[in-house]
Structure 1
Amino acid sequence: MKSIQLQTNINAPIHRVFDLSRSIDLHKLSTKETNEQAIAGRVSGLIELDEFVTWRAKHLGFYQTLTVKIIKFQQPYLFIDEMINGAFKSMKHEHHFEEIENGTKMIDIFTFEAPLGFLGKIAENLFLEKYMKNFLIKRNQTIKQVAESNDWKKILEKVNK
């Protein structure tokens, strides 16, 4: 099992960063390269406790589906999503948020295990951990960019209509 921990400081209020992080629409924007689409469950707007979303995307040359469910939700400080169906043997993503001077500290703890036993462990070490870390860094940079500009309004104001 592998664990990736990232910290991103964002010059924006904690509520904005929290909501952008659980926005299905922003997630789609941040994953253009993998053509990620929400195909079942919550397919737009802000995901909530006990809701799920099924994503279809092209990763490592193959189209895959992944269904995650929000299993813990403490607005605006924490939400956790966990894989309920997908290519991993297991996957859990903790999203932590802390108020700091001039903004928000966003902490991701992404834990996963590849399938296929020993072969999966080799894949984790050879390329999968790096691939997932880069995927999360890109996502976090998109959240930061949108939260620190006026673009957040395009994402969150349509949710509140």
Structure 2
Amino acid sequence: MAFYQLKREQFINASLEEVWDFMSSPKNLKEITPKHMGFDITSDNKEDKMYEGMIISYIVKPLLGIPTTWVTEITHVVPLKYFVDEQRIGPYKLWHHQHILEERDGGVYMKDIVTYQPPFGFLGAIANRLFIKKQLNSIFKYRFKAVDDKYNNKQV
């Protein structure tokens, strides 16, 4: 069955350290997730920074306000360069999300590559065409704006 990719790139007017500190902290995920998603971290992580092997559990309401448990594992971390989260339990058959940071042009280029596969075979492919792809685009559009507002529109 087919899988899909969503790629986004954003310039952030901030230092690499500042962007890494924000993006690599699970506590900040809620700030860059649309409120209608009902996103709440349910794991009791004491760590402020992601590390390889870290398990993070959430409740999220991606469809019709129905709460869904989502568990991700941080599988790769290279500080100040990238980290990868992969779904272990959740709504997708496959979810692999790369967060890549590159210092360039006096700021940071942040690139997201999400590789995903909906469940339910051909029905998932139809659902992707009808609403999943649109919803993911909407979520990343919100995230882009939230990050842009945080860094590129900050008062000097």
TM-score by length of 2: 0.88
Q: Is contact 1:26-1:143 (8 Å) kept?
A: no
The separation in 1 between residues aligned to 2:95 and 2:9, in whole angstroms, is: 19
Q: Which runs of 5+ in 2 are unaligned?
A: none
Answering whether residue 59 of structure 2 is matched by residue 56 of structure 1, we say yes
Select which of 2, 10, 14 maps to 1:8.
10
Rounded Cα–Cα distance in structure 2 between residues aligned with 1:27 and 1:76? 18
TM superposition shift of 1:126: 1.4
Which of 36, 43, 46 is residue 33 of structure 1 equivalent to?
36
Offset at 1:143?
A: 2.5
Cα distance, 1:23–1:142 mapped onto 2, change above 3 Å: farther
Contact 1:4 1:111 in 2 (8 A): yes
What letter matches 2:4 in structure 1? K
What is the CA deviation profile of residues 30-87 of structure 1, one whole-angstrom value per residue up to 9, with x for unaligned ones? 2222121000153773222210111101112121111111111111011000001111
Q: 1:41 to 1:118 in 2, by over 3 A?
A: farther
Aligned pair in 2 of structure 1 residues 23, 145: CA closer, same or farther (>3 Å)? farther
Counterpart of 1:68? 72
Kindly indicate whether residue 133 of structure 2 is the aligned counterpart of residue 129 of structure 1: yes
Identify unmatched segments of 5+ residues in structure 1. Answer: 151-161
1:103 — aligned with what?
107
Q: Is the 8 A contact 1:28 1:36 kept in 2?
A: yes
Secondary structure of 1:73's partner? strand
Number of residue pairs aligned between Structure 1 and Structure 2 = 150
Q: Contact conserved, 1:25 with 1:44, CA < 8 A, in 2?
A: no
The one-letter amino acid of 1:48's match is Y
Q: CA RMSD in A?
A: 1.7
TM-score, normalising length: structure 1: 0.86
